[in-house]
Amino acid sequence: KAGVTQTPRYLIKTRGQQVTLSCSPISGHRSVSWYQQTPGQGLQFLFEYFSETQRNKGNFPGRFSGRQFSNSRSEMNVSTLELGDSALYLCASSLSPSGNGGELFFGEGSRLTVL
Amino acid sequence: TQLLEQSPQFLSIQEGENLTVYCNSSSVFSSLQWYRQEPGEGPVLLVTVVTGGEVKKLKRLTFQFGDARKDSSLHITAAQPGDTGLYLCAGVQPSGSRLTFGEGTQLTVNP
């Protein structure tokens, strides 16, 4: 079966712009989690959605937002981009919420560069 | 302060050597997972441990969950260049609602 698909894979933006990233989970998975990955910082949790509801939110400013659609696809948006937002953004899907301890299936990520 | 502390942060060894990576916390976890991430890809699950003292083997990789369920280790025997990658531990606390990741150990195995 198809894996988790993230688009776009690479993008370059300038400070002050906004960006929308998309994630299509594995068919049948209802939970989608988003992470920011930067060198030396590991995976920083952004938010998790299950059945269109945000279950958890990490310690990121309000410029970071997300949503999940009825088909479980998810988007995240970052407004007023800053240089420090340059990172690899990873999406992961799972059958049930991550707090249940089940396996997360990750996409290849969207690499954002802010100039 | 990270909930899960991984050590070492970086490790560079020669092919054929053995190594151990640690994942420590002061908190108890219901379960703990290990993922490996290769360049240009997302992390992939290697194993899940749920019982204190549990030991799981995956070919040359041995995973152990501490008796108190606060720590875990990953031991690789006779490392190969294909083992190169970022190793991440992740856990769920009994009262937690989500998976928490450590910062990872970047392993490089030189031929």
Closest CA to B23 of B42, B43, B8, B45: B8
Task: Using CB atoms within 10 Å of the CB of residue B107, give its burial: 0 to 12 exposed, 13 to 18 middle, 19+ buried.
Answer: buried
Q: Do A108 and B42 touch (CB under 8 A)?
A: yes
Q: Do A48 and B48 touch (CB under 8 A)?
A: no
Q: Is A22 left (phi over 0), alpha (psi -120 to 50) or beta?
A: beta
Q: Look at the block and give the residue holding tokens 């769920």.
A: B92
Closest CA to A38 of A100, A93, A98, A114: A114
pLDDT band (50, 70, 90) for residue A1: low
Chain segment B21-67, per-residue pLDDT in tens: 999 999 999 999 999 999 889 999 999 999 999 999 999 999 999 99
Task: Please name the member of B31, B43, B88 whose beta carbon is closest to the beta carbon of A101.
Answer: B31
Query: What are the backbone angles phi and psi of residue A98, rounded to the nearest 5°?
Result: -60, -25
Q: Does the pLDDT of residue B1 top 60, yes or no?
A: no
Task: Please name the member of B2, B50, B99 whose beta carbon is closest to the beta carbon of A98.
Answer: B99
Task: Please name the member of A56, A100, A104 whose beta carbon is closest to the beta carbon of B45.
Answer: A104
Shortest Cα distance, chain A CAs vs residue B60, angstroms: 21
Query: What are the backbone angles phi and psi of residue A85, rounded to the nearest 5°?
Result: -85, -5
